Amino acid sequence: MKKIAIYDTTLRDGSQTEGISYSGQDKINIAKKLDSFGIDFIEGGWPFSNPKDQELFDYFKKKKLKSSKLVPFGSTAHPAKPASQDKNLISLISADTEYVTIFGKTWDLHVEKVLKISPDDNLKIIFDSVEFLKKKGKRVFYDAEHFFDGYKANPEYALKTVKAALDAGCELIVFCDTNGGVLPWEIKDVAIEVKAKLGLAEFGIHCHNDLGLAAANSVSCVNYGCSHIQGTINGYGERCGNADLVTIIGILQLKMGISALSSQKLSELTHLSHFVSEISNMVARDNHPFVGRSAFAHKAGIHIDAVIKQASAYEHIDPALVGNRRRFVISELAGKSTLVVKARELEFDLDKKSKQAKDLHKLIQKLENQGYQFEAAEASFKLLLEKELKKCRKFFSLLGFKVVVEKRQDGKLISEATIKLKIKDKIEHTASEGDGPVNALDGALRKALSKFYPSLSTMHLTDFKVRVLDEKFGTAAKVRVLIQSQDEKDNWSTIGVSENVIEASWQALVDSVEYKLLKDSKQEVDS
């Protein structure tokens, strides 16, 4: 089976999506998930250009990825300075990675109108930048920015820019359709022609999706010598996005017989897609190929009848291959297998044919219908399994809470939460002020629990996301709240759903605290 290297740039290109703003911890969590999934290369962004990217590279200097290669990204040297003194290139070296990626100008329009330098100066900058990184022991991917537009405008000069990078010793040339406006047959003609002229054995491809063709353009290049595909999970990216690696991996592996990752990891494709959409606070597309909720959904009576008799009648693959499931819109008939597999991953022994499995499946269906999504809230899912399967003890019970938000004459906004809990047969009644109602609730909850569970002092909330689920209901719509927490050892996510944002936040907050207490109690038993 031919192997194609998958290069993920979600943490850089994906973060440029309108509406996405990753925290430093978000980026770390996504990188860990991509690593466990088996992505070959993870582009981490511009090292030390901002605190979030610096946090990512600093973190993985101490805790190396298990299977993926972390790659910093930057540009060729600034025209005003030699490569050896360019802060951007020096920062790539400081990232302490085996590979680095830099991009340079291919299109003479950009050279003359944007950089405002001569074509020959640009060639020297490309050569010197790659050579400098190579001398520092780095393996260099060179992204030929705007390559296809540049080649159409001035093929001779576009080839010279690529040759400069090759002569300097770059590992691989990556042809970029940066504007996303190239058609499949143009990609084919240019790729074949350039490969022959330069004597390239292989090349990489980086496509944007402004024509909706990024995935198609990317996979088509495999037939012409492409061995390396760049893109983002779910196609996130600036403007219309980047090539969607979720779709690309599915096509390569299941339609073209080309290895992108193991078949076991392929079955986690749906989970990966939904995980990244939740962390990104973006609505997962129901019609997303391979992994969307509707990708294997059947509504028409004729279709349902045919699929029951022969699934391939209306399904191009077995949905289980990518971790998805068949859905009959009129009556849900599937899902227990996925539940059993996930339970086993979390070390719960669940028999698919047992009453427990059936009851739990019904409960999860009910919760999903209410708006719960557990892909990026595994702590809440694990708590659900603990409560339903092991009947774990309750650490506390809520007797009631009240939240007051007061705007005073001086314009100051005050939030105060009062809470009453039952803990180990004792009643605790506390209050706390906060920067907002959720922060006040968090403070009151901790104050009530701290004397009984002192380990809560090591835990803090790191992120808080709210998504409206039913926009048509306006301010009365249901919301989904996702809370991320961490202590000195782990980080975890929890979820809450309600028409009331305070109630949804409370559910996620309680799950977060209960998960911490459950985790600590198990560690005490093990020790």
pLDDT above 70 (res 111): yes
Domains of the chain: 5-261 (3.20.20.70), 297-373 (4.10.430.20)
pLDDT confidence band for 477 (50 / 70 / 90): confident
| Upper half-sphere CA count for residue 90 (Cβ side, 13 Å) | 8
Give the lowest-confidence range in 42-46, 69-73, 182-186, 377-381.
377-381
Give me the chain's average pLDDT, please.
91
Closest-CA residue to 78 (of 25, 115, 52): 115
pLDDT, mean of residues 77-100 = 95
Q: Which helix (H) or strand (E) holds 422?
A: strand 413-423
Can you give the pLDDT at residue 337? Answer: 57
pLDDT in tens, 128-174: 999 999 999 999 999 999 999 999 999 999 999 999 999 999 999 99
pLDDT above 80 (res 24): yes
Can you give the pLDDT at residue 245? Answer: 98
* Rounded Cα gap, residues 211 and 241, in angstroms: 10
pLDDT in tens, 309-364: 888 999 999 999 999 988 765 333 335 655 776 677 677 888 878 888 888 888 88
- Select the highest-mean-pLDDT range: 160-174, 249-263, 407-421: 160-174
pLDDT confidence band for 195 (50 / 70 / 90): very high
pLDDT in tens, 210-246: 999 999 999 999 999 999 999 999 999 999 999 999 9
pLDDT, mean of residues 413-442 = 93
**Across 221-378, where does the E strand assignment appear?**
226-231, 297-298, 327-328
pLDDT above 60 (res 504): yes
Can you give the pLDDT at residue 345? Answer: 67
Can you give the pLDDT at residue 202? Answer: 93
Q: Which helix (H) or strand (E) holds 274?
A: helix 269-279
* Rounded Cα gap, residues 371 and 479, in angstroms: 8
